[in-house]
Amino acid sequence: MMAVEERALVQPPSEVATQRPGEIEDAATLPAKVTVRNLNFFYGGQQALYDNSISIPALRVTAVIGPSGCGKSTHIRVYNRIFELYRSHRAEGIVEIDGENVLSPSTDLLKLRKKVGMIFQRPTPFPMSIFDNIAYGVKLHYRASRSEITDRVEDALKRGALWEEVRGKLSEPATALSGGQQQRLCIARAIAVEPELILMDEPCSAIDPVATSKIEDLIEILRDSYTVVLVTHNMQQAARVSDFTAFFYKGHIVEFGATKKIFTNPENRQTEDYITGRFG
């Protein structure tokens, strides 16, 4: 473990010091879930990511922060190759998940996406019942009996911290839930197919503060079983829930390290300016 000087350059959000006591880990010493090497990304002729290289530690929460348009979302959208929905989007480089390059043409996309779940900025409940929303992915990937599916749905909703609120109304349309509930439904839906890595693309930007804190609590629990990559524009959120933080600026990864260190003693001037609110 790396010893870090506890000299706070800036006044960090008060939660930082208290919420995650203990040592500051060094990402390099932890097993990596995702290893990105020289990732470049293009929207048509316009380059959006430049030589991104990063190792996302397994079973940790990694926050991706940076000003709007810096490439945060673009970066994680490469991990499950969801960007390929759009013809002009193109990624170059290497993104290894558990040692396998997902950008290789031989990657089985359906398998990859079972392993890598994704939560979007706005909740995206499918136009069907709460039960069917969760069961959708289960039926997709498993040959399961009705009762097995029912169990899985219940389990996923419990792990998504939604079970108590919806247990009596599983057959109601998911669109009738509140925004925060919809987002937890989406998390439960992702969990139901047993992913190993969960990508969250600003999951709280469209929901209210109370619902946000529920989702943050949920992320706290998820980190025990999943590797989470959380894109957020909310620095307090990054400080609260993440173990590691990557700071993106104009398509470059400026700095990556333990969240505590990034928020108290960043090495880079740009990182410091951003987290102190001087720009962004």
| Footprint of another protein (CB under 8 A) | 80, 82, 85, 87, 109-114, 116-118, 120-122, 124, 126-128, 136-137, 140-141, 173, 175, 186, 189-190, 193
Least distance (Å) from another protein to the CB of residue 112?
8
Of 87 and 146, the one with the shorter C-beta distance to another protein is 87
Cα–Cα dist 240/14, whole Å: 9
Q: Smaller CB distance to another protein: residue 33 or 260?
A: 33
Distance of CA 193 to the CA centre of its chain: 16
Cβ-based nearer residue to another protein, 49 or 135: 135
Q: Which two tokens stand for residue 203?
A: 């999951």
DSSP strand pairing (116-119 vs 197-201): parallel
Nearer to another protein, 121 or 276 (CB): 121
Q: State how far the Cα of 38 lies from the Cα of 52, in Å rounded to an integer.
A: 5
Backbone angles phi, psi at 127, to 5 degrees: -75, 65
Q: How far is the CB of 190 from another protein (least distance, A)?
A: 7
Cβ contact 60:220 at 8 Å: no
Least distance from another protein to the Cβ atom of residue 120, Å: 5
Query: Please, are residues 263 and 12 in contact by the beta-carbon 8 Å criterion?
Result: yes
146 class by beta-carbon count within 10 Å (0-12 exposed, 13-18 middle, 19+ buried): exposed
Shortest Å, Cβ 114 to another protein = 4
User: Distance between CA 175 and CA 30 in Å, rounded?
Assistant: 40
Nearest to another protein of 140, 221 (CB atom): 140
The DSSP bridge partners found for residue 96 are 35, 101
- Closest approach, Cβ 68 to another protein, in A, equals 18
Nearest to 219 by CA among 249, 183, 248: 183
Report the nearest approach of another protein to the CB of residue 252 (Å). 25
Which lies closer to another protein via its Cβ, residue 138 or residue 258?
138
**Cβ-based neighbour number of residue 4 at 10 Å:** 15
